[in-house]
Amino acid sequence: MESKMQDKAVDQKRSFKDFKLLKSSTGIKGLDDITFGGIPLNRPTLLVGPIGSGKTFMAMEYIVNGIEMFNEPGVFMTFEEKTDELLDNVASLGYDIKLLMEKNSIYLEHLEIGPNISKEVGTYKIDGLFVRLEQAIDKVKAKRVVLDSLDSLFASLDRHILRSEFKRLFSWLKEKKVTAIVTAELGDVFLTRMGLEELIADCVIELSNRITNQISTRRLRIVKFRGSPHALNEYPFTIDENGLTVFPLISQELQQKSSAERISSGIHKLDEMLDNKGFYLGSSILISGTAGVGKSSVLTSFANNVCSKDKTCLFCAFEEAPNQIIRNMASIGLNLHPHVESKKLQFYFARPTLQNLELHFMAIKEIIKNFSPHILVLDPITNLMTEGPNSDVRSMLTRFIDYLKTKQITVMFSAAITIGSISQNPSDEGISSMVDTWIMLEDLELEGERNRSMYVMKSRGMDHSKEVREFIISPTGINLIPIKRNKQGLLIGSKRMAAEKESKEMAGKGNFQHQFSEDGAVK
Amino acid sequence: MINLQKILDINNRKREKNEFTFELYVAGDTPISLKAASNAKAIFDKYYKNNYALHLFDIYKNPALVARENIIAVPLLIRKNPLPEIRMIGDFSDIQQVKNEFLIR
């Protein structure tokens, strides 16, 4: 008996859980993920944001996607831009609205507000707009409606009338059974003061365009979504010829394949340190070190080795121009010319400040799509990091690495660090958590001489060497030598060379030296 | 119930040619429409005497007009003659303001 009642309760709970708010899919990449299906069906959604934050484009994309993906005609009412201007503007994003207009699946109209509201004398209503909307909706049998934007519509109108008319407009839209996006530039203060948020909107999406270090990043946040769970964070988004793309972390496939195959680092001695086999295929490798320690040389050796094995590499350079890299690397015996000519090696060269990180990654992804390289080299990632706060960059980088892992592309990137930055601020090195193999290059200063050293800080899933080796860059390439010590201390650089020379001389003198050292004491 | 059209028809029937021509656009037989019509009529009767015509249009009965006249807010009063066209929205409860707008002294 009791168990039956429990079952009933469970059933009820389940049916409650199964209830879902009907949603209208936006078709915008990423947005449907964070709203869990789209914006509320047959209800108005308020899209707020400052000038140039992409409101019009997002609204237009909603309409166009509705037509192209879901066969739902739409109405686009603009109070701001002239029809021709709007067509030109969105054409730059690859939308051919004119064609859709001919097919009668979109109704686009520009309502001029200016001369209309010449003078207010007493109270009035906005039924004129209702009549026009109704005509437009009936004409194309629209399911989706956009009003762009409220600000110009109500620019010079009385606030009190505005409030009640807003309410009437939104309930009228609900009655018409259309899903509406209404854009507004209204700031937080205005929204709150007018009580519009509670009043009308079942869903409020906020767009912003934040500038950090002179580079702007577009962001999107769902402020409220009545009756539905939604993702709470702020997400970066981009607008380009592919339309609008929101970048939530959740949309990336985290279940990547993990390969047991190995790939050589191109430096024989480094492979030795990594289980004698090298990196895992599809893993991410970080090479970090101070300036001038030889990071680019390690990266290029890797690229060179891959290309000479008839595989392909995409080299993303953010510091040096490709020609300069080719010239410089020739000095350590790496000839990249043939690889470039045979198109096994491609460069992506851009200044980090050219655009925001997300756009860089988009551009790189575009190349990957066409070129599908086996490995990717990023030199250096720290140049990109000057762009914004670390957490931003880290999440973008995480997404990017996830993307590469799904594609099984091995990525190696370098990071320039300042001396002691790890001990001072370990969080700066947050990217280390997302890399599989981390190799440190260090400058050792000993008795007025600087020498390079290398060690493997971590390498997931392999028994890597823990020793610090001397890292030598010579005209014949890169070499790693185990560091020895004698009574005077570490034998690095000139000391090592002196010791080598000495031991050779000793060896020439016969067994004398041998006895000497075996006893461990001077006789 | 007062019929909107009736208020105005009495006035319009009298003459063929007027110095002043006005068009009033309203949305349905609502209190606000009636108020606008009677207020406008009262003002014009007083200042233009028999020298004006006031045409009334209901946008719900004649939706095509909305696009033609680019109407958003109603009641909308347009002075068609003499030019320039003057537009005014509201129920015209502020007589002084209407007078100012039409330069009535």
Per CB-CB distance under 8 Å, the chain A contacts of B89 are 116-121, 124
Residue range A420-441: mean pLDDT, rounded: 66
With a threshold of 0.90, tell me whether the complex ipTM lies above it. Answer: no
B35, B59, B101 member nearest A131 (Cβ)? B59
A54-66 tens-digit pLDDT: 888 889 889 988 8
Question: Closest Cα to residue A377, out of A306, A453, A460?
Answer: A306
Top-confidence range, A151-165, A186-200, A460-474? A460-474
Question: Closest Cα to residue A441, out of A295, A330, A313?
Answer: A295
Interface of B with A in 17-56 (CB under 8 A): 25, 27-28, 32, 35-36, 39
A116, A123, A125 member nearest B27 (Cβ)? A125
| pLDDT at res. A144 | 92
| pLDDT at res. A55 | 87
A346-360 tens-digit pLDDT: 998 888 776 677 778
pLDDT higher at A256 or A518: A256
**CATH class, range B4-10+24-66+75-101:** alpha beta
Ranges of CATH 3.40.50.300 domains, chain A: 16-251, 262-482
| pLDDT at res. A212 | 66
Question: Closest Cα to residue A125, out of B28, B8, B55?
Answer: B28
A110-161 tens-digit pLDDT: 887 765 456 777 788 888 888 888 888 988 888 899 988 777 766 666 667 7
B66, B87, B89 member nearest A131 (Cβ)? B66
A468 pLDDT exceeds 50? Answer: yes
E strands, A68-213, are 74-78, 106-110, 144-148, 179-184, 203-212
Q: Which of B29, B38, B69, B89 to mutate to test the interface with A (most CBs of A within 10 A)?
A: B89
CB of A97 within 8 A of CB of A120? no
Would the CB atoms of B89 and A115 count as touching at under 8 Å?
A: no
The verdict on A350 touching B (C-beta cutoff 8 Å) is no
A313 pLDDT exceeds 90? Answer: yes
The verdict on B59 touching A (C-beta cutoff 8 Å) is yes
Residue range A17-26: mean pLDDT, rounded: 71
Q: Which of A117, A120, A125, A166 to mutate to test the interface with B (most CBs of B within 10 A)?
A: A125
| pLDDT at res. A425 | 47
The verdict on B86 touching A (C-beta cutoff 8 Å) is yes
Q: Tokens for A521? A: 């004491």
CB of A378 within 8 A of CB of A347? no
A112-122 tens-digit pLDDT: 776 545 677 77
Tell me the sheet residues that pair with A106. A74
Residue range A455-459: mean pLDDT, rounded: 87
Q: Kindly identify which residue of chain A lies nearest to residue B30, measuring between CA atoms.
A: A125
**Segments in A407-493 forming alpha helices (H):** 421-424
| pLDDT at res. B30 | 85
Tell me the sheet residues that pair with A184. A48
CB of A314 within 8 A of CB of A371? yes
Pick among 1.10.10.60, 3.40.50.300, 3.40.30.10, 3.50.50.60: CATH of A262-482: 3.40.50.300
| pLDDT at res. A17 | 46
The verdict on A135 touching B (C-beta cutoff 8 Å) is yes
pLDDT higher at A424 or B35: B35
**CATH class, range A16-251:** alpha beta
- Tell me the C-alpha to C-alpha distance, in Å, between residue B57 and each of A112, A260, B35: 21, 80, 15
A324-343 tens-digit pLDDT: 999 999 998 888 999 999 99
| pLDDT at res. B11 | 53
Residue partners of A8: CB distance under 8 A and separation at least 6 = none
- Tell me the C-alpha to C-alpha distance, in Å, between residue A197 and each of A34, A77, A151, A163, A184: 20, 22, 15, 11, 12
| pLDDT at res. A467 | 86
Per CB-CB distance under 8 Å, the chain A contacts of B75 are 124
| pLDDT at res. A302 | 92
At A289 the three-state DSSP class reads strand
A314 pLDDT exceeds 90? Answer: yes
| Model confidence band, residue A488 (pLDDT cutoffs 50, 70, 90) | confident
| pLDDT at res. A7 | 57
Would the CB atoms of B97 and A119 count as touching at under 8 Å?
A: yes
Give the mean pLDDT of chain A: 79
For residue A191, with 0-12 CB atoms within 10 Å meaning exposed, 13-18 middle and 19 or more buried, which class applies?
Answer: buried
CA atoms of A315 and A322, how far apart (whole Å): 9
Residue range A85-91: mean pLDDT, rounded: 82
B35, B72, B91 member nearest A116 (Cβ)? B72
The verdict on A488 touching B (C-beta cutoff 8 Å) is no
| pLDDT at res. A523 | 40
Q: Which stretch of A485-489, A515-519, B48-52, B85-89 has the lowest confidence by average pLDDT?
A: A515-519
A429 pLDDT exceeds 80? Answer: no
A272 pLDDT exceeds 90? Answer: no
The verdict on A158 touching B (C-beta cutoff 8 Å) is no
Per CB-CB distance under 8 Å, the chain B contacts of A117 are 72-73, 87, 89
Min distance B12 CA to chain A CA atoms (Å): 24
Q: Taking the domains of chain B in order of start, what are their residue ranges?
A: 4-10+24-66+75-101
Amino acid in position A7 = D
A128, A134, A157 member nearest B71 (Cβ)? A128
